[in-house]
Amino acid sequence: MAEEWGLVRIDDRLIHGQVIAVWCKHKPFKRIVIIDDQLAQDPYMQEVMRLAAPPGLVVDVYSVDAAIQTLSQETQNRSTTMLLMRSPQVARRLYEGGLTYSALNVGGIGSGPGRRNIFKNIAASDEEIAIMKDLMDRGVRITLLTVPGEKSKEFADLYAELKRK
């Protein structure tokens, strides 16, 4: 059986200070895999992401389809790999495509049209909330947490609160 991924994270900023300075010190990641269709087509921005990472940390970029095809076959070194994506939509596409995971960290989704704040600096649309609910119903534990050591919230608890409003 394949080992669990070190971290599966939604963060619409992808690689930035919190990811590098805090998460990479919290867990001994050797690799970050960014899964983003747009970034996979932009070699310049891929290089920017790689330059943002500290020396020795491998940064790979895949489209969603390429990630499903490639990463589903990887059974080793998962515990030192962070999967990083911008949205719940990508998280669901990965899961439905066979790239499964048991836990999902939601660390940053910015506000915007059709989105409401659901926890700290995390906003979501009704569609994104429904997607996270679907993943939760499939057995994925979803935790809203920007950085280790800060207060977190389980999506299951948050969803119950959102239903009451």
The CA–CA distances, whole Å, from 134 to 83, 107, 108 equal 20, 18, 19
CA distance 40 to 118: 29
Model confidence pLDDT, tens digit, residues 109-161: 999 999 999 998 899 999 999 999 999 999 999 999 988 888 999 999 999 88
Q: Is residue 119 part of a domain?
A: yes
Model confidence pLDDT, tens digit, residues 17-68: 777 778 878 888 999 999 999 999 999 999 999 998 888 999 999 999 999 9
- Reported pTM: 0.94
Looking at the 3D structure of the chain, how many domains does it have? Answer: 1
The CA–CA distances, whole Å, from 104 to 48, 56, 85, 132 equal 25, 25, 11, 9
CA distance 160 to 165: 9
What CATH number is attached to the domain comprising 109? Answer: 3.40.35.10
Q: Is residue 47 part of a domain?
A: yes
Place of tokens 């495509």: 97
Query: 33, exposed or middle or buried, with CB in 10 Å at 0-12, 13-18, 19+?
Result: buried
CA distance 37 to 29: 23
Q: Is residue 1 part of a domain?
A: no
Which structural domain range is residue 17 located in? Answer: 7-164
Buried b (16+ CB within 10 A) or exposed e, 83-100: bbbbbbebbbbbbeeebe
Q: Would you say 15 and 32 are in contact if contact means Cβ atoms under 8 Å apart?
A: yes
pLDDT at position 76 over 90 = no
Cα angle: 108, vertex 63, 115; to 5 degrees: 30
CA distance 10 to 35: 10
Q: Is residue 144 part of a domain?
A: yes
